[in-house]
Structure 1
Amino acid sequence: MKSGDSTTINVPPESSAVSKGKAPLLPVAAGPASSGGWKKGIAIFDFILRLFAMVAALAAAAAMGTSDETLPLFTQFFQFQASYDDLPTFQFFVIAMALVAGYLLLSLPFSIVTIVRPFAAGPRILLLVLDTVALTLTTAAGGAAAAIVYLAHNGNSNTNWMAICQQYGDFCQKVSGAVVGSLIAAMLFVFLVVLSAMALRRI
């Protein structure tokens, strides 16, 4: 090799990320904490709705169970009386709403579990199934009682069913309020079922 010759070594240029000592950016997947907030919010709202539904069911059962009125007449041996236990439909209503209220009370601990553990699927599925059953029972009891209350207010001339609410005003007022309470409980159950479905959607 002659003294005038020079040897050069070509080094490929490094990437800007490597030359600066930085790793290339990679996409980071959102963790469970990103959706845990809204699931916990749904669980808290679920608990509040259960309290309101329990109050509505208890109020409906109590109003129907205390519906009793006796018309004042001159003799105590011949009286006209209207009571919820005179009709099997109203008896079924009281039993059904008491069962629904008891279920809602027992479901509160499971609702609390969904608040503490918003990603637990087991308690949420159990509540969804039982809420659907309770919704069916509430709707059946409320619908059957509403039909009798309608006849009590308006009667039916084709079947000789006389309207009795003009005579038994307090009785009709209580049974009507009981039916309204059952319908409110049924609407709250619809919201509970929808909330459970939304919470299970991304578990």
Structure 2
Amino acid sequence: MKSGGDSTTIDVEARSPSKGKGPVLAVHHVKEEKGGMKRGMAIIDLVLRIGAIVAALAAAATMGTSDQNLPFFTQFFQFEASYDDMPSFQFFLIAMSIVAGYLVLSLPFSIVSIVRPHASGPRLLLLILDLVALTLATSAAGAATSIVYLAHNGNASSNWLAICNQFGDFCRNVSGAVVASFVTVVTFMFLILLSALALRKHH
């Protein structure tokens, strides 16, 4: 602005239209990064659950079809080994079927965690139910393991004879079922760890 012969200059501070938005953009970027990490963990959770379903169903199906007959003198008089002759194997079949059913029902909640990675409710629910299912699967696997060990090695103190020399197919089936159940147990451990990490990142 000019006054008479003198000139007076007024400096006007130029304001950037983005001034003051830097921290907001940074926070938004951090939230997007955390959301992407949680979504990735939720995808891993879904894949692990599908794998656990396969392992649990394999354990239940293998145990449920474990049956072998041995002819003795004639084809009309036979020795039979079946899973339903032993309460531990019956409990194993029921428990692993329940675990497999729960895993199938948990898939929608896992998908919700992918769609809404910041939602802590579904993740917390899965964590609690996974702990219950892990306990059930571990008890079933442990009970079946003790019987499989006796079937392979016997126990002289209690006059329990090893039967795997005669019932080889039966022992292979029940042993495979036990291995599949422990795969399910290990998978549950990873699922619980993922849920705990995801919930921790909410805070």
TM-score of Structure 1 vs Structure 2, range by shorter chain: 0.7 to 0.9
Q: Which runs of 5+ in 1 are unaligned?
A: 1-10
CA contact 2:56–2:96 (8 Å) conserved in 1: yes
Residues 195, 170 of structure 1: CA spacing in aligned structure 2 closer, same or farther, 3 A cutoff? same
Q: Secondary structure at the match of 2:163?
A: coil
- Quick one: distance in 1 between partners of 2:123 and 2:21? 38
Q: Which runs of 5+ in 2 are unaligned?
A: 1-8
1:25 CA drift (Å): 8.4
Residues 25, 145 of structure 1: CA spacing in aligned structure 2 closer, same or farther, 3 A cutoff? closer
2:92 matched to which residue of 1?
93
1:49-88 pair list within 5 angstroms: 49-88=48-87
Larger radius of gyration: 1
1:30 CA drift (Å): 2.1
- Whether 1:21 aligns to 2:32 is no
Scaled by the length of structure 1, the TM-score of the pair is: 0.88
Aligned length: 191
1:202 CA drift (Å): 1.7
Scaled by the length of structure 2, the TM-score of the pair is: 0.88
Tell me which amino acid in the other structure corresponds to 2:27: A
1:65 CA drift (Å): 0.4
Tell me which amino acid in the other structure corresponds to 2:93: V
- Quick one: distance in 2 between partners of 1:96 and 1:202? 33
CA contact 2:60–2:177 (8 Å) conserved in 1: yes
Structure with the largest fraction of strand: 2
Q: Secondary structure at the match of 1:164?
A: coil
- Whether 1:199 aligns to 2:193 is no
Percent identity, aligned pairs only, is: 64
Residues 19, 178 of structure 1: CA spacing in aligned structure 2 closer, same or farther, 3 A cutoff? same
- Quick one: distance in 2 between partners of 1:88 and 1:34? 51
Q: Secondary structure at the match of 1:177?
A: helix
Tell me which amino acid in the other structure corresponds to 2:15: G
